[in-house]
Structure 1
Amino acid sequence: MRDRFDGRALHALIAMAACSVMLSGCGLIFQNHEKRADAVLKPTPGNATRGTVTLIERSDGVQVSYSFTDMPPNSDHALTVHERGDCIAVNDQDTSPVFALPAERRKPSSRLEGELGNIHADATGAATGFIVATDVSLDGVRSVISRAIMLHREALDPYASAPHNVGPSLACGVIRR
Protein backbone atom coordinates (compact mmCIF):
# COMPACT_ATOMS: atom_id res chain seq x y z
CA MET A 1 0.00 0.00 0.00
CA ARG A 2 2.80 2.35 0.83
CA ASP A 3 4.44 1.87 -2.60
CA ARG A 4 1.14 2.66 -4.36
CA PHE A 5 0.68 5.85 -2.27
CA ASP A 6 4.23 7.05 -3.06
CA GLY A 7 3.61 6.45 -6.77
CA ARG A 8 0.40 8.50 -6.73
CA ALA A 9 2.09 11.27 -4.77
CA LEU A 10 4.94 11.29 -7.25
CA HIS A 11 2.51 11.49 -10.20
CA ALA A 12 0.63 14.33 -8.53
CA LEU A 13 3.88 16.16 -7.86
CA ILE A 14 4.97 15.77 -11.49
CA ALA A 15 1.57 16.98 -12.72
CA MET A 16 1.74 20.03 -10.45
CA ALA A 17 5.26 20.85 -11.65
CA ALA A 18 4.16 20.53 -15.29
CA CYS A 19 1.19 22.86 -14.68
CA SER A 20 3.47 25.35 -12.99
CA VAL A 21 5.86 25.36 -15.97
CA MET A 22 2.96 25.76 -18.42
CA LEU A 23 1.40 28.59 -16.44
CA SER A 24 4.69 30.46 -16.19
CA GLY A 25 4.86 30.33 -20.00
CA CYS A 26 1.35 31.81 -20.16
CA GLY A 27 2.64 34.80 -18.25
CA LEU A 28 4.87 35.65 -21.20
CA ILE A 29 1.97 35.35 -23.63
CA PHE A 30 -0.65 37.20 -21.59
CA GLN A 31 1.48 39.86 -19.94
CA ASN A 32 0.60 43.48 -20.71
CA HIS A 33 2.49 44.38 -23.89
CA GLU A 34 2.97 48.07 -24.57
CA LYS A 35 1.10 49.36 -27.61
CA ARG A 36 3.55 51.52 -29.51
CA ALA A 37 3.87 53.21 -32.90
CA ASP A 38 6.42 55.54 -34.48
CA ALA A 39 6.64 58.06 -37.31
CA VAL A 40 9.61 59.71 -38.97
CA LEU A 41 8.59 63.13 -40.26
CA LYS A 42 10.46 64.41 -43.29
CA PRO A 43 10.40 67.96 -44.64
CA THR A 44 7.69 68.88 -47.12
CA PRO A 45 8.84 70.67 -50.31
CA GLY A 46 10.51 73.98 -49.50
CA ASN A 47 10.93 73.23 -45.79
CA ALA A 48 13.77 71.89 -43.63
CA THR A 49 11.85 70.69 -40.54
CA ARG A 50 12.30 67.03 -39.62
CA GLY A 51 11.64 64.91 -36.60
CA THR A 52 10.34 61.79 -34.93
CA VAL A 53 7.14 61.01 -33.09
CA THR A 54 6.55 58.03 -30.79
CA LEU A 55 3.04 57.07 -29.70
CA ILE A 56 2.53 54.85 -26.65
CA GLU A 57 -0.92 53.89 -25.41
CA ARG A 58 -1.35 54.52 -21.68
CA SER A 59 -4.35 54.27 -19.35
CA ASP A 60 -5.01 58.04 -19.64
CA GLY A 61 -4.58 58.26 -23.44
CA VAL A 62 -1.90 58.02 -26.07
CA GLN A 63 1.38 59.66 -25.09
CA VAL A 64 2.72 61.42 -28.19
CA SER A 65 6.44 62.12 -27.67
CA TYR A 66 8.09 64.32 -30.29
CA SER A 67 11.48 65.69 -31.23
CA PHE A 68 11.84 68.21 -34.09
CA THR A 69 14.70 70.25 -35.52
CA ASP A 70 15.09 72.98 -38.14
CA MET A 71 11.80 74.69 -37.25
CA PRO A 72 11.36 78.47 -37.40
CA PRO A 73 12.84 79.77 -34.11
CA ASN A 74 10.50 80.82 -31.27
CA SER A 75 7.34 79.65 -33.02
CA ASP A 76 4.23 77.56 -32.32
CA HIS A 77 2.95 74.80 -34.58
CA ALA A 78 0.02 72.37 -34.75
CA LEU A 79 0.64 68.63 -34.68
CA THR A 80 -2.21 66.80 -36.42
CA VAL A 81 -3.12 63.31 -37.61
CA HIS A 82 -4.78 63.09 -41.04
CA GLU A 83 -7.24 60.57 -42.48
CA ARG A 84 -4.94 59.03 -45.08
CA GLY A 85 -1.37 57.86 -44.67
CA ASP A 86 -0.22 60.03 -47.54
CA CYS A 87 2.70 62.47 -47.41
CA ILE A 88 3.12 63.06 -51.13
CA ALA A 89 0.67 65.98 -51.34
CA VAL A 90 2.48 69.12 -52.45
CA ASN A 91 0.16 71.71 -50.96
CA ASP A 92 -2.44 72.07 -48.23
CA GLN A 93 -5.37 71.57 -50.61
CA ASP A 94 -4.08 68.10 -51.58
CA THR A 95 -3.74 66.74 -48.04
CA SER A 96 -6.42 64.57 -46.53
CA PRO A 97 -8.65 66.04 -43.81
CA VAL A 98 -7.71 65.91 -40.14
CA PHE A 99 -8.67 62.56 -38.60
CA ALA A 100 -12.12 62.59 -37.00
CA LEU A 101 -14.99 60.21 -36.47
CA PRO A 102 -17.96 61.11 -38.70
CA ALA A 103 -20.09 62.31 -35.77
CA GLU A 104 -17.37 64.73 -34.62
CA ARG A 105 -16.78 66.08 -38.13
CA ARG A 106 -20.43 67.25 -38.27
CA LYS A 107 -20.08 69.44 -35.18
CA PRO A 108 -19.08 72.88 -36.51
CA SER A 109 -16.90 74.05 -33.63
CA SER A 110 -15.71 70.84 -32.05
CA ARG A 111 -12.09 69.86 -31.68
CA LEU A 112 -11.28 66.93 -33.96
CA GLU A 113 -9.62 63.76 -32.65
CA GLY A 114 -6.64 64.25 -34.96
CA GLU A 115 -5.85 67.71 -33.59
CA LEU A 116 -3.22 66.58 -31.11
CA GLY A 117 -2.14 70.03 -29.94
CA ASN A 118 0.45 72.74 -30.34
CA ILE A 119 4.18 72.51 -29.85
CA HIS A 120 6.71 75.31 -29.35
CA ALA A 121 10.07 75.64 -31.07
CA ASP A 122 12.83 77.20 -28.98
CA ALA A 123 15.32 79.87 -30.10
CA THR A 124 17.36 77.24 -31.98
CA GLY A 125 14.33 75.89 -33.87
CA ALA A 126 14.12 72.66 -31.86
CA ALA A 127 11.18 71.19 -29.99
CA THR A 128 11.10 68.16 -27.71
CA GLY A 129 8.28 67.08 -25.42
CA PHE A 130 5.06 65.13 -25.28
CA ILE A 131 1.30 65.53 -25.54
CA VAL A 132 -1.30 63.17 -24.05
CA ALA A 133 -3.98 62.61 -26.67
CA THR A 134 -7.15 61.28 -25.01
CA ASP A 135 -9.26 61.07 -28.20
CA VAL A 136 -7.14 58.63 -30.23
CA SER A 137 -5.84 55.09 -29.81
CA LEU A 138 -3.49 52.60 -31.44
CA ASP A 139 -6.27 50.14 -32.33
CA GLY A 140 -10.01 50.13 -32.92
CA VAL A 141 -12.18 52.84 -34.44
CA ARG A 142 -10.01 55.69 -33.10
CA SER A 143 -6.75 54.14 -34.32
CA VAL A 144 -4.14 56.42 -35.86
CA ILE A 145 -2.02 53.57 -37.24
CA SER A 146 -1.18 54.02 -40.96
CA ARG A 147 -2.38 57.64 -40.93
CA ALA A 148 -0.25 60.68 -41.76
CA ILE A 149 0.98 62.89 -38.93
CA MET A 150 1.90 66.45 -39.86
CA LEU A 151 3.59 69.38 -38.23
CA HIS A 152 1.95 72.55 -39.59
CA ARG A 153 3.26 76.06 -40.14
CA GLU A 154 0.69 77.60 -37.77
CA ALA A 155 -0.70 76.69 -34.35
CA LEU A 156 -4.21 75.45 -33.57
CA ASP A 157 -6.55 78.18 -32.38
CA PRO A 158 -8.67 76.67 -29.59
CA TYR A 159 -11.35 79.31 -30.17
CA ALA A 160 -11.63 78.97 -33.95
CA SER A 161 -14.63 77.34 -35.56
CA ALA A 162 -14.46 74.94 -38.50
CA PRO A 163 -12.73 74.62 -40.83
CA HIS A 164 -9.71 73.79 -38.72
CA ASN A 165 -7.07 75.35 -40.95
CA VAL A 166 -3.51 75.46 -39.62
CA GLY A 167 -1.78 76.15 -42.91
CA PRO A 168 0.58 74.00 -44.92
CA SER A 169 2.68 71.33 -43.31
CA LEU A 170 6.36 71.72 -42.53
CA ALA A 171 6.96 67.98 -42.12
CA CYS A 172 5.01 64.77 -42.62
CA GLY A 173 5.34 61.08 -41.74
CA VAL A 174 3.20 57.95 -41.58
CA ILE A 175 2.45 56.31 -38.23
CA ARG A 176 3.66 52.68 -38.19
CA ARG A 177 3.76 49.93 -35.55
Structure 2
Amino acid sequence: MRQRTDGRHAHRLNALALAGLLGLTFAFGGCTTIFGNHEKRAQAQLRPTAGNGARGTVTFVERADGVQVTYNLVGLPPNSDHALQVHERGDCNAVDGSSAGAVFAPTAARLKSGVRVEGDLGNLHADETGVATGFIVAPDLSLDGVRSVLGRSVLVHRDTSDPAFAEHGAGPALACGQIRQ
Protein backbone atom coordinates (compact mmCIF):
# COMPACT_ATOMS: atom_id res chain seq x y z
CA MET A 1 0.00 0.00 0.00
CA ARG A 2 1.33 3.40 -0.96
CA GLN A 3 1.16 6.40 1.22
CA ARG A 4 0.24 9.65 -0.42
CA THR A 5 2.28 12.76 0.33
CA ASP A 6 1.66 16.28 -0.67
CA GLY A 7 5.42 16.86 -1.18
CA ARG A 8 6.08 18.50 2.20
CA HIS A 9 7.85 15.43 3.57
CA ALA A 10 10.18 15.22 0.53
CA HIS A 11 10.96 18.93 0.72
CA ARG A 12 11.78 18.64 4.42
CA LEU A 13 14.27 15.82 3.69
CA ASN A 14 15.88 17.81 0.86
CA ALA A 15 16.15 20.87 3.12
CA LEU A 16 17.80 18.78 5.85
CA ALA A 17 20.23 17.22 3.36
CA LEU A 18 21.13 20.67 1.98
CA ALA A 19 21.65 22.05 5.50
CA GLY A 20 23.94 19.10 6.34
CA LEU A 21 25.92 19.58 3.15
CA LEU A 22 26.33 23.30 3.80
CA GLY A 23 27.41 22.57 7.36
CA LEU A 24 30.13 20.20 6.13
CA THR A 25 31.25 22.71 3.52
CA PHE A 26 31.64 25.45 6.12
CA ALA A 27 33.27 23.07 8.59
CA PHE A 28 35.94 21.86 6.18
CA GLY A 29 36.14 24.75 3.74
CA GLY A 30 36.24 27.32 6.52
CA CYS A 31 39.22 25.73 8.29
CA THR A 32 41.65 28.18 6.71
CA THR A 33 39.43 31.03 7.82
CA ILE A 34 39.30 29.73 11.38
CA PHE A 35 42.79 28.30 11.76
CA GLY A 36 44.69 30.41 9.21
CA ASN A 37 46.65 29.33 6.17
CA HIS A 38 49.23 26.68 7.03
CA GLU A 39 51.73 27.46 4.33
CA LYS A 40 55.26 26.21 4.77
CA ARG A 41 57.52 29.03 5.94
CA ALA A 42 61.09 29.46 7.09
CA GLN A 43 63.26 32.42 7.97
CA ALA A 44 66.89 33.38 8.41
CA GLN A 45 68.24 36.27 10.47
CA LEU A 46 71.42 37.34 8.69
CA ARG A 47 74.23 38.72 10.80
CA PRO A 48 77.36 40.40 9.48
CA THR A 49 80.56 38.49 8.97
CA ALA A 50 83.79 39.96 10.41
CA GLY A 51 84.46 43.50 9.22
CA ASN A 52 81.06 43.93 7.53
CA GLY A 53 77.82 45.66 8.49
CA ALA A 54 75.28 43.80 6.34
CA ARG A 55 72.34 42.26 8.20
CA GLY A 56 68.66 41.57 7.73
CA THR A 57 65.98 38.97 7.20
CA VAL A 58 65.37 36.45 4.44
CA THR A 59 61.99 34.65 4.44
CA PHE A 60 61.16 31.47 2.51
CA VAL A 61 57.53 30.63 1.66
CA GLU A 62 56.66 27.53 -0.35
CA ARG A 63 54.26 28.26 -3.22
CA ALA A 64 52.91 26.21 -6.11
CA ASP A 65 55.59 27.61 -8.46
CA GLY A 66 58.51 27.17 -6.05
CA VAL A 67 59.83 28.91 -2.98
CA GLN A 68 59.38 32.66 -2.75
CA VAL A 69 62.48 34.15 -1.15
CA THR A 70 61.85 37.63 0.26
CA TYR A 71 64.81 39.64 1.48
CA ASN A 72 65.11 42.81 3.53
CA LEU A 73 68.76 43.73 4.06
CA VAL A 74 70.57 46.81 5.36
CA GLY A 75 74.21 47.80 5.77
CA LEU A 76 75.31 46.83 2.27
CA PRO A 77 77.69 49.06 0.30
CA PRO A 78 75.62 51.81 -1.44
CA ASN A 79 74.64 51.21 -5.08
CA SER A 80 76.07 47.71 -5.20
CA ASP A 81 75.10 44.26 -6.49
CA HIS A 82 75.51 41.02 -4.54
CA ALA A 83 74.85 37.29 -4.84
CA LEU A 84 72.22 35.74 -2.57
CA GLN A 85 72.93 32.04 -2.05
CA VAL A 86 71.79 29.07 0.02
CA HIS A 87 74.76 27.03 1.29
CA GLU A 88 74.92 23.34 2.27
CA ARG A 89 75.32 23.64 6.04
CA GLY A 90 73.38 25.65 8.58
CA ASP A 91 76.56 26.85 10.24
CA CYS A 92 77.51 30.51 10.41
CA ASN A 93 80.04 30.14 13.24
CA ALA A 94 83.13 30.97 11.17
CA VAL A 95 83.85 34.71 11.22
CA ASP A 96 83.97 34.72 7.40
CA GLY A 97 80.91 32.47 6.84
CA SER A 98 83.04 29.65 5.40
CA SER A 99 81.55 27.12 7.84
CA ALA A 100 78.35 27.22 5.73
CA GLY A 101 80.08 25.07 3.10
CA ALA A 102 79.50 25.07 -0.63
CA VAL A 103 76.50 26.48 -2.48
CA PHE A 104 73.51 24.11 -2.10
CA ALA A 105 73.23 21.86 -5.17
CA PRO A 106 71.14 18.70 -4.58
CA THR A 107 71.24 17.61 -8.24
CA ALA A 108 73.99 17.02 -10.75
CA ALA A 109 73.63 20.61 -12.01
CA ARG A 110 76.81 21.54 -10.14
CA LEU A 111 78.74 19.31 -12.54
CA LYS A 112 77.63 21.23 -15.64
CA SER A 113 79.48 24.37 -16.64
CA GLY A 114 77.28 27.42 -17.24
CA VAL A 115 74.34 26.06 -15.22
CA ARG A 116 73.01 27.89 -12.17
CA VAL A 117 72.75 25.52 -9.20
CA GLU A 118 69.61 25.49 -7.05
CA GLY A 119 71.18 27.34 -4.13
CA ASP A 120 72.31 30.26 -6.28
CA LEU A 121 69.22 32.44 -5.90
CA GLY A 122 70.49 35.22 -8.12
CA ASN A 123 71.70 38.74 -7.55
CA LEU A 124 70.21 41.62 -5.60
CA HIS A 125 70.81 45.37 -5.73
CA ALA A 126 71.42 47.68 -2.78
CA ASP A 127 70.20 51.25 -3.22
CA GLU A 128 72.10 54.46 -2.43
CA THR A 129 71.49 53.91 1.31
CA GLY A 130 72.73 50.30 1.31
CA VAL A 131 69.24 48.78 1.57
CA ALA A 132 68.13 45.83 -0.58
CA THR A 133 64.52 44.62 -0.52
CA GLY A 134 62.66 42.36 -2.91
CA PHE A 135 61.87 38.77 -3.68
CA ILE A 136 63.02 35.95 -5.91
CA VAL A 137 61.08 32.81 -6.84
CA ALA A 138 63.25 29.69 -6.70
CA PRO A 139 61.39 26.99 -8.66
CA ASP A 140 63.89 24.22 -7.82
CA LEU A 141 63.84 24.58 -4.03
CA SER A 142 61.39 23.43 -1.35
CA LEU A 143 60.92 23.41 2.39
CA ASP A 144 60.94 19.62 2.68
CA GLY A 145 62.53 16.65 0.97
CA VAL A 146 65.80 16.48 -0.95
CA ARG A 147 65.58 20.07 -2.20
CA SER A 148 64.78 21.52 1.22
CA VAL A 149 66.59 24.64 2.40
CA LEU A 150 65.66 24.05 6.06
CA GLY A 151 68.68 23.76 8.32
CA ARG A 152 70.96 25.29 5.69
CA SER A 153 72.43 28.81 5.58
CA VAL A 154 71.72 31.78 3.37
CA LEU A 155 74.59 34.15 2.59
CA VAL A 156 74.96 37.52 0.92
CA HIS A 157 78.26 37.72 -0.94
CA ARG A 158 80.39 40.73 -1.83
CA ASP A 159 80.21 40.04 -5.58
CA THR A 160 77.53 38.89 -8.00
CA SER A 161 77.19 35.32 -9.19
CA ASP A 162 77.56 34.25 -12.79
CA PRO A 163 76.63 30.67 -13.74
CA ALA A 164 78.99 30.79 -16.71
CA PHE A 165 81.88 31.21 -14.28
CA ALA A 166 80.61 29.36 -11.21
CA GLU A 167 84.10 28.22 -10.29
CA HIS A 168 85.05 31.87 -9.61
CA GLY A 169 82.53 32.12 -6.76
CA ALA A 170 80.83 35.29 -5.56
CA GLY A 171 83.53 36.60 -3.29
CA PRO A 172 83.57 36.63 0.50
CA ALA A 173 80.37 36.58 2.53
CA LEU A 174 79.05 39.86 3.90
CA ALA A 175 76.33 38.23 6.05
CA CYS A 176 75.18 34.75 7.02
CA GLY A 177 72.10 33.26 8.68
CA GLN A 178 70.70 29.80 9.39
CA ILE A 179 67.35 28.95 7.77
CA ARG A 180 64.82 27.85 10.41
CA GLN A 181 61.10 27.22 10.65
Root mean square deviation of aligned Cα: 2.8
Q: 1:161 to 1:167 in 2, by over 3 A?
A: closer
Structural mapping, 1:91-110, within 5 Å: 91-110=96-115
SS of 1:62 mapped into structure 2: strand
- Shift of the alpha carbon at 1:6? 6.0
**2:30 aligns with one of 28, 31, 48:** 28
Number of the residue aligned with 1:72: 77
Number of the residue aligned with 1:167: 171
Identity of aligned residues (%): 53
Question: Gaps (5+ residues) in structure 2?
Answer: none
Q: Deviations over 1:24-82 (max 9, x none)?
A: 21113489754332222111222211111122333433222211111111211110001
AA in 1 matched with 2:119: G
Q: Deviations over 1:62-119 (max 9, x none)?
A: 2222111111112111100011211112235433111111422332442110000111
How far, CA to CA, are the matches of 2:22 and 2:65 in structure 1?
A: 34
How far, CA to CA, are the matches of 1:170 and 1:40 in structure 2?
A: 13
* Farther-moved stretch of structure 1 (152-161 vs 109-118): 152-161
Question: Gaps (5+ residues) in structure 1?
Answer: none
With structure 2 as the length reference, what TM-score do the two structures score?
Answer: 0.80
Number of the residue aligned with 1:14: 16
AA in 1 matched with 2:172: P
* Farther-moved stretch of structure 1 (15-24 vs 128-137): 15-24
Q: Does the 8 Å contact 1:153/1:167 carry over to 2?
A: yes
Structural mapping, 1:125-164, within 5 Å: 125-162=130-167
Q: 1:140 to 1:28 in 2, by over 3 A?
A: farther
